[in-house]
Amino acid sequence: MTAVIWACGIILAVATIGTLYRLWKGPTLLDRVVSSDVLLTIIAAGICLLVFAYDRYIYLPILVVLSMIGFISSVTVARFASNAPVNAEIDRVTEVDQKDVEKNLETGSEEG
Amino acid sequence: MRQIRDFILHGLPPLLWLVLVWCALWQDFSVPNVAFGLLLSILVTYVFRMPRLYLSDRFNLWHSLKFLAYFLWGVTVASYQLAKLSFAFGKPINSAMVAVELRTRSDLFITATSHALSLIPGSLVVDVDRAHSILYLHVIDVDTPEGVEEYRVSAQKIEAMILRAAGHSDEYEALLREDVETDEDYARTVDAAERGEHELQEQDERKTVVNEIGGHDS
Amino acid sequence: MIDIIAALCMIIGCLMSLAAAAGLYRFPDLLTRLHAGSKPQVFGLMMLLLGIALDAGTWKVVPVLLVALILQFLTIPISTHMMARSGYRNKHFRRQDLVRDDLRARVEDELETEQREGVPAEERMPHQQGGRA
């Protein structure tokens, strides 16, 4: 039985690493929200493993609470996610820089 | 009398659910605990009054068990297929966005169908058109338009199963009438096919003759 | 014997979490990753809870597990639906992968009326549209 518990623990650890990769890389905001949701479920799986390994049935209400409340964060972020396509911020920044540069050039030429 | 029936159908289920959750959390179904749970749930539903939850007025046990069995089987098989797809690194994935028109017009069953379709892997509900009862599903791993059509038909079958299990009486009767009609239609087409095959053959022969002579399509 | 089945259920449950993570890593865009991030979890959780129930041997723990399972069934579709809807409207997905797209016309319609009238879609359309309870 200890072999089984170790194997499950290692599988969950590898799954966590995969999810963290998406959390780091995910090009959009919602990808990161999905991976945090998956992380929450992996934590729930870890608690199940704990209950299985040590026969502590007092941890089971935690699962109930996680199921009930864990989805609220993803729903909130999804509700208020921005409406701009992915590269809009980068374009806006370069646009602003360009305008500043032009303004400086103009004022510089007026003074000079 | 009507008030009592109303209460039993619509007021009692939330109360019973709260008592069940209380006893389950304490892992203790003894009489004092159940009594205290009942007291607490009455207090909670009285103080935090929510709008009444209108469940439907019929519930068929046999069809519900059939639906439950189909649902669990669907979850198992499709999870396995999705896991296989996740581990096949490098294979390109085609998906589709399908519009499914539902027969039901009630909030509760549109929600129930969306939940069932979202949980059985393969589809995800992206949008709901409430006024026309249309669900827009995102289906993963379909390559051909036939696969997409097949998926749409299976989604409507799931909705029919849910309506049979717990739908409102008038929608259930409409569903039964629809089944009878499609059976009659099917019988009629089979008869027509047997009688009309001969005519169709003659039509085909005439068409090939026309094409050979050099006539063009109208 | 029951020990072996319980251990098998636990391993299958954890493998499903691994499948979810692998899917998150490999699927090309948001909508498919949503599939990967929610579906195997449901089955994995079912297997894990079954393993716990088989290992416990008593009937006392079964109601809590059932309550947790039912609540999970109720909440996972809600969060995936909200994220899919938001992702579709904000164009966070690859259009070329879709074999057939029925929602595009409706979303573009809505965006057009929103731009014309200046009021976002959710505030304009009443949510109690026809239909019954």
Domain count, chain B: 2
Q: Are residues B90 and B149 in the same domain?
A: yes
- From the list C20, C58, C40, the residue with the least C-alpha distance to B119 is C40
Do both A102 and A75 map to the same domain?
A: no
For A47-104, how does the pLDDT look when each residue is reduced to its tens digit (9 = 90+)?
999 999 998 888 999 999 998 888 898 899 888 876 555 554 444 445 555 666 667 7
Inter-chain Cβ pairs, chain A and chain B, closer than 8 A: 5
pLDDT of residue A101: 67
| Reported confidence tier of residue C35, pLDDT bands at 50, 70, 90 | confident
Where exactly are the structural domains of chain C? 2-94+101-123
What's the pLDDT at C129? 44
Do B85 and C23 form a contact (C-beta atoms < 8 A)?
Answer: yes
* Cβ contacts of C52 on chain A, cutoff 8 Å: 48, 51-52
**pLDDT digit string (tens) for A17-45?**
999 998 998 788 888 999 999 999 999 99
Q: What is the pLDDT of residue C124?
A: 46
In chain B, % of residues over pLDDT 70 = 82
A76 with A95, same domain?
no
Determine which of B59-68, B107-116, B131-140, B167-176 has the lowest per-residue pLDDT on average: B167-176
Is there a single domain that holds both residue A33 and residue A64?
A: yes
Query: For residue C128, is pLDDT > 50?
Result: no
Same domain, B13 and B38: yes
Q: Which residue would you say has higher pLDDT here, A103 or B70?
A: B70
Q: Are A45 and C45 in contact (CB < 8 Å)?
A: yes
Q: Is there a contact between B25 and A64 if contact means CB atoms under 8 Å apart?
A: yes
Mean local confidence (pLDDT), B47-67: 82
Best mutation site among C11, C18, C115 for testing chain A: the one with the most A CBs within 10 Å? Answer: C18
Instruction: Check CB contact of C40 with chain A, cutoff 8 Å.
Output: no
Chains that touch C (3 or more CB pairs under 8 A): A, B
Q: What is the pLDDT of residues C41-76, one digit of tens each?
A: 889 999 999 999 999 888 888 999 999 999 999 999
Kindly give the interhelix angle for C62-89 and C104-117, rounded to the nearest 10 degrees: 60
Q: How many domains, chain A?
A: 2
Query: C123 pLDDT exceeds 60?
Result: no
Confidence of residue B97 (pLDDT cuts 50, 70, 90): confident
Percent of chain B at pLDDT exceeding 90? 14
Q: Are residues B41 and B116 in the same domain?
A: no
Does residue B48 carry a pLDDT above 70?
Answer: yes
Q: How far is C32 from chain A (nearest CA, A)?
A: 11
ipTM: 0.79
Contact C68 A4 (CB under 8 A): no
Distance CA B143, CA B137 (A): 16
Asked if residue A49 and residue A91 are part of one domain, the reply reads: no
pLDDT at residue number A52: 92
Do A73 and A33 reside in the same domain of the chain?
yes
Asked if B86 reaches chain A (Cβ–Cβ under 8 Å), the answer is: no
Domain that holds residue A43: 2-81
Query: Which chain B residue is nearest to residue A65, measuring alpha carbons?
Result: B25
SS3 letters for chain A?
A: CHHHHHHHHHHHHHHHHHHHHHHHHCCCHHHHHHHHHHHHHHHHHHHHHHHHHHCCHHHHHHHHHHHHHCCHHHHHHHHCCCCCCCCHHHHHHHHHHHHHHHHHHHHHHHHC
- pLDDT of B214 > 60? The answer is no
Give me the domain span that covers residue B142. Answer: 61-167
CB contact under 8 A, B25 and A57: no
